[in-house]
Amino acid sequence: MPEQVVIAGLGCGDVLGHLSEYVDGTVSADLRSSIEEHLRGCDWCARFGGEFSAVVTELRSTLKAPSEPAPDISARLANRLDELFDE
Amino acid sequence: MTALHPSAPIASSDGDLLRQTAEGSRSAFSQLVERHRGAVWALVRRLTPNDALAEEALQEAFIAAFRGAAGWSGSGSVRSWLLTLARHATYRHVRRRAGEPSSFEPLDELGAAAGWGQPVPVDELLARLRDQELVRRAMSRLDPDDCDVLVLRDLLGHTGPESAAALGISLNAMKSRLHRSRLRLIAALREEGFDA
């Protein structure tokens, strides 16, 4: 990768280290401001930060997609539970 | 404020159903299973490589819930408790792989594996993320500790403090683990895409 730069007191590695907190909105106001200033001045971090944010958003959507077990799986579970109650 | 439909039956809470289960009510437990079967399935299926293992984990989780109903602490939600049982059941089937990288790899190495510093089109990565099977395979390559924090924060949507408490670690440790886990998952997705 290109040489890392320091902008707003943060190096590229610092920004990488805070990306999850930044995307989750859990950084302090001061740190958020510094990260955003760095992103405005560093194309490299802006690009990876944008990708990271998009990936986390998509990941949440994919993981949360509704899912139900197939009917035969539900039926077998019911049978197992029936056996338990008969014990 | 008055109820809109005073004559409508009041649904029992999960806690009530669990207490009734502990007293021997099959009907109460069936209602609990019906309510949470989908959530438990969504979890175990994403953490296992095939339907058969997911079904085993699903059954074990509900059997453990039935047997442990009397011991439920009453704190926290029943769903969270069921999902914790499901995670534990899953990990009994999906063996922790030997030789996994430790949690202390340098962050820039993890970032590089996830594409930091590399011109990989994000559209391609997003397309892979929409492929449930690909995400499942990538998740199955992660260490259980990584899966745990991703499940708690990104699947179940628990808050940071809730996730940290569930994992028994500090909030800062949870944040660090979450970030590294996301980077590892992205790296695994990239590898899965190339392997496919």
Residue B100 in domain: no
Distance (Å) of CA B99 to CA B57, B58, B104, B143, B192: 24, 28, 14, 10, 19
Per-residue pLDDT reduced to its tens digit, B2-47: 444 444 455 789 999 999 999 989 999 999 999 999 889 988 888 7
Domain final residue, candidates B67, B93, B119: B93
ipTM for the predicted complex comes to: 0.79
Q: Tell me which amino acid residue B50 is.
A: N
Domain that holds residue B19: 14-93
User: Domain boundary residue among B40, B61, B93?
Assistant: B93
What is the total count of domains within chain B? 2
Contact A83/B at CB under 8 A: no
**For the segment B118-127, what is each residue's pLDDT rounded down to a tens digit?**
766 677 777 7
Give the pTM.
0.72
Which of A63, A68, A72 to mutate to probe the B interface, most B CBs <10 Å? A63
Smallest CA–CA distance, residue A2 to chain B, in Å, is 7
How far apart, in whole angstroms, are the C-alpha atoms of residue B35 and residue B58? 14
User: Residue B138's domain is classified under what CATH number?
Assistant: 1.10.10.10
**How do the pLDDT tens digits run along chain A, 87 residues long?**
567 889 999 999 999 999 999 999 999 999 999 999 999 999 889 888 888 898 888 888 877 776 788 888 888 998 988 888 877
Last residue of a domain, one of B93, B127, B158: B93
Asked if residue B5 is part of any domain, the answer here is no
B108 touches chain A (CB under 8 A): yes
Residue B31 domain-assigned (yes or no): yes
Q: Do B116 and A1 touch (CB under 8 A)?
A: yes
Q: Given CB atoms, is B63 within the 8 Å cutoff of chain A?
A: yes
> In this structure, is residue B189 part of a structural domain?
yes
Residue with the larger pLDDT of the pair B101 and B85? B85
Q: Do B153 and B120 reside in the same domain of the chain?
A: yes
DSSP 3-state of B105: coil
- Asked whether residue B125 falls in the same domain as residue B70, the answer is no
Q: B136 lies in a domain? A: yes
CB contact B53 to A (< 8 Å): no
